Amino acid sequence: MEAQPIRVATVNDEVYARLHKAITSGALLPGMKLTIRSIADSFQVSTMPVRDALRRLEACGLVVFGRRSVTVTLLSPDEVEQVFQIRLRLEQLAAEWAIARVGPHDLDELERILADMDEPGLSADQWRALNQRFHLRFYEASESDHLLRLIRDVWSKVEPYMAIYASRVDDFSESQQQHRFMLDLIRRGDLSGLLVATAHHLDYTAKTVVSALEERLASS
């Protein structure tokens, strides 16, 4: 139980959190133009915290500052694929570190998350949240805040597109099967097996997301 310094919620952080969620959940679609003033008005705050929040989102790569505009980052299918490749390398490293330090308590929690994901009738958002929690929860065992933060940021970049994918598909059994297989490898401490499984899992996800994205682009 490492005590994080208590951060009293500042408006800045709140705006950042809401915008981050809005973008990654797909509520604000990639390519959409944002205006600082409208956001400020809708949140009933001044433009200042919105500016700060957008700056931080810019550094995460979620928005892009133009000459006179702020737009939600729009990735081409090719870029999405690149980001997935980057994610893979980072997550493989995290897996290496995590598998060596994972404890029984961690395993229990991972198991519980998977159980939650088996629950029928999950919304796409709920499934995405649980899916992310499963992976990140495991990587937390790596005990590297730097790596974890990096993975989170890179994850965020492709999250909007996973939201698109998840909203069109209602069968996650294949993905869930892979999760169980990976958890089993983690339990047995099979690192090389886990690395392969992770690559396979991410490739599978990437292919699905990218093809869904290309299909959407072609139809427009």
Q: Which two tokens stand for residue 8?
A: 């009293």
What's the CA gap between 152 and 178, in Å, rounded?
Answer: 21
Q: How far is the CB of 43 from DNA (least distance, A)?
A: 9
Question: Which CA distances in Å does 116 have to 61, 113, 134, 143?
Answer: 31, 5, 10, 25
Q: How far is the CB of 28 from DNA (least distance, A)?
A: 13
Question: Between residues 1 and 9, which has the closer beta carbon with respect to DNA?
Answer: 9
Question: Between residues 51 and 187, which has the closer beta carbon with respect to DNA?
Answer: 51
List of residues 6+ apart from 19 with CB closer than 8 A = 28, 39, 53, 54, 57
Which parts of this chain interact with its own copies (CB under 8 A)? 5, 7-8, 51-52, 55-56, 58-61, 66-67, 79, 82-83, 85-86, 89-90, 92-93, 144, 146-147, 149-150, 154, 157
What's the CA gap between 179 and 53, in Å, rounded?
Answer: 34
Question: Between residues 89 and 188, which has the closer beta carbon with respect to its own copies?
Answer: 89
Q: Which does 168 bind (CB under 5 to 8 A by kind): DNA, its own copies, none?
A: none
Say what the alpha-carbon torsion angle 196, 201, 203, 209 is, to the nearest 10 degrees: -170
Q: Which does 49 bind (CB under 5 to 8 A by kind): DNA, its own copies, none?
A: DNA
What's the CA gap between 121 and 172, in Å, rounded?
Answer: 11
Count the Cβ atoms, other than its own, within 10 Å of residue 184. 13
Question: Between residues 70 and 124, which has the closer beta carbon with respect to its own copies?
Answer: 70
Q: How far is the CB of 55 from its own copies (least distance, A)?
A: 4
Which parts of this chain interact with DNA (CB under 7 A)? 8, 10-12, 34-38, 45-49, 51-52, 65-70
What's the CA gap between 193 and 185, in Å, rounded?
Answer: 7
Q: Which does 164 bind (CB under 5 to 8 A by kind): its own copies, DNA, none?
A: none
Question: Between residues 11 and 147, which has the closer beta carbon with respect to DNA?
Answer: 11
